[in-house]
Amino acid sequence: MCGIVGGICQNNITPILIDGLKRLEYRGYDSAGLVVLTSDNVLQRTRATGRVANLENILNLQEINGTTGIAHTRWATHGEPSTKNAHPHICNNNIGVVHNGIIENFLQLKSQQQAQGYRFSSDTDTEVIAHSIHQALKECNTLLEAVQKAITDFQGAYSVGVISPTYPKHIVVARSGSPLVIGLSDKGNFIASDQLALINITKQFIFLKEGDTADITEDSVDIFDKNGVKVEREVKTSKLQNGQIAKGNYAHYMQKEIFEQPQAISNTLESRVTKDKVLVSAFGHKAKDLFSKVKHVQIIACGTSYNAGLVAKYWIEDIAKIPTHVEVASEYRYRNPVILDDTLFVSISQSGETADTLEALRAVKKRNKNIQSLVICNSAESSLIRESKLSFLTYAGPEIGVASTKAFTTQLVSLALLCVALGKCHKQVSKQQEKAIVDGLNHLPGLVAKTLNQENQIIALAKTFEDKYNALFLGRGSMHAIAMEGALKLKEISYIHAEAYPAGELKHGPIALIDKNTPVIAIAPNNELLDKLKSNLQEVKSRGSQMIVFEDEASKVVPMQGMSVIPVTNNLGRITAPIIFTIPLQLLSYHVALIKGNDVDHPRNLAKSVTVE
């Protein structure tokens, strides 16, 4: 959600800013802009609605040169998507600001600033930041001091980058509730919301901590903590490779990431399992003692990660015999939940920066300082990783497409390992059972690769959705959560209204929606609920619906007129089945979106990482 890039370097900064913005497009945005401090010490700004390419086209006609600059991709929170609301924002030609996050008290600040004589040219909350820093600069000796003074008035979440002609060789940044990294290079120093923006420039990064501010020049970085005390932050070397964030021979990032799942799952399992065991120590050297004391599990997450948590609830209660609750983080953080003793608080997030999930964890830690917390995450340097006692990385690699694919399946693999680890520590999983689960997990990469070979068959099914605007997904047990994930994917990128229901709930309302224009997608694993599901399918078919059934080969669903039955694979267990049945649903959503002519990687109104409420 939104993206910041900036830097001070030896040569023209503009190409670096544009390249960085392109690398942040996956985060979701509606406009883009940059401001550069030119050689004659003037702030020169260009902004455009729509894609970064639109901004680049303007720059091809309007040359902007300078060695210091900041840039931004905006996702609208306050004020509609428009050029006037695009970042950067400038105050009196002396302060240029880019901002991620939300200033919750901006109306109060705006009223005060209007009384001071400041004029507003946008509808955004960000403009109050520029005016606040400009006002503070009247009383301060440096740009850093002005920023540190101004942010004391801000309520909400923000990461900001600031430049000024008064201090032409400096960029000042501040971070509170929204991530920001500093990239170090012999060609200069840079800032970004995400290291991906700078990976072609440097592999050396400083990840700012909550409340940090920093004064950055071409050859120095001075960092101060929330109390204004100068501190040293560790410089970390990124393991990301430039090729990891390129589409290669694929048409879209989403397609690439769907087909990367066999390798992503293999990477997630590596060094976490042997041929017959799950290594509990993979969750941390204290994990065994901690897990042995766990009596309850509370999972919080948002979106796709929430769906992963719902699957895990079935696994943990079934296999580890531990009561497990799953809740949407944005709801959990705003009520007063009963936190039982000996609860393991599990947060799940692809980015590790999801605002609601992070704040829910912080709220729980304030209420119970001894809470045992575990994060399952794809970003090693994220805020959730730093603030949890235990962490488990999914090793999915960079996921650029907004619609999560490989992050979801690697989360499921990670949660399966957690389930077995908890079961072992509570002596609920026998060696024979553990070996069977591990054997299934070790076969997963091959099973996923086999399932991906069905793409052509799914393309043919996708063509039947060209004129459809509604769809229902059905599943029972853990497959209801997979149906929810399938419906979410279809909604996100095809813009078809899709809902998921437990198949047994059909008679309680959803069956009223079924007609020939509403396709129904069902998941039919070969398990103890199969016969009941088959009865549900008969109920649906008798209402004249177009049906697609993804089945285990052993399920032997009998095809009927208007029903397509797609065997996915066979002999899947309760752990492997949800992961495998996810794959055809991803492919279906992807190809339906293509047929609809939608922007698959950048669906409207959505952001990859939701770092504001």
Residues classed as catalytic: 2, 608
Which residue bears the tokens 């059934």? 549
Q: How far is CA 477 from CA 41, 371, 444, 533, 581, in A?
A: 64, 30, 21, 10, 13
Round to whole Å and give the CA distance between 173 and 159: 7
Q: How many beta carbons lie within 10 A of that of residue 162, not counting itself?
A: 27
- Reported as half-sphere exposure (CB side, CA atoms, 13 A), residue 373 has a value of 25
Are 532 and 503 within 8 A, CB to CB?
A: yes
Q: How many beta carbons lie within 10 A of that of residue 68, not counting itself?
A: 28
Residue 14: partners with Cβ closer than 8 Å, 6 or more residues away:
34, 36, 59, 64, 65, 66, 69
Q: Which helix (H) or strand (E) holds 266?
A: helix 261-269
* DSSP per-residue string spanning 560-597: -TTEEEEEEESS--TTHHHHHHHHHHHHHHHHHHHHHT
**What is the four-CA torsion angle of 137, 140, 144, 145, rounded to 10 degrees?**
-120
Q: In this structure, what DSSP letter does residue 402 have?
A: S
φ, ψ dihedrals at 555, nearest 5°: -70, -35
- Reported as half-sphere exposure (CB side, CA atoms, 13 A), residue 6 has a value of 36
Q: Checking DSSP bridges between strand 497-502 and strand 470-475, what pairing results, if any?
A: parallel
- How far, in whole angstroms, is CA 545 from its chain's centroid? 35
Angle value at C-alpha 380, between 377 and 385, nearest 5 degrees = 65
Round to whole Å and give the CA distance between 603 and 251: 15
Nearest in space to 103 (alpha carbons), one of 127, 119, 120: 127
Helix (H, G, I), strand (E, B) or coil at 197: helix
Which residue bears the tokens 């997990």? 441
Structure tokens at 319: 């296999």
Assign residue 272 a region: left if phi > 0, alpha if psi is -120 to 50, beta otherwise? Answer: alpha
Sign of the alpha-carbon torsion through 107, 113, 114, 118: negative
Beta bridge mates, 8: 68, 189
Sign of the alpha-carbon torsion through 48, 51, 52, 56: negative
Helix (H, G, I), strand (E, B) or coil at 505: helix
φ, ψ dihedrals at 129, nearest 5°: -65, -45
Q: Which helix (H) or strand (E) holds 46?
A: strand 43-49
Nearest in space to 494 (alpha carbons), one of 402, 413, 569: 402
Structure tokens at 36: 């550069």
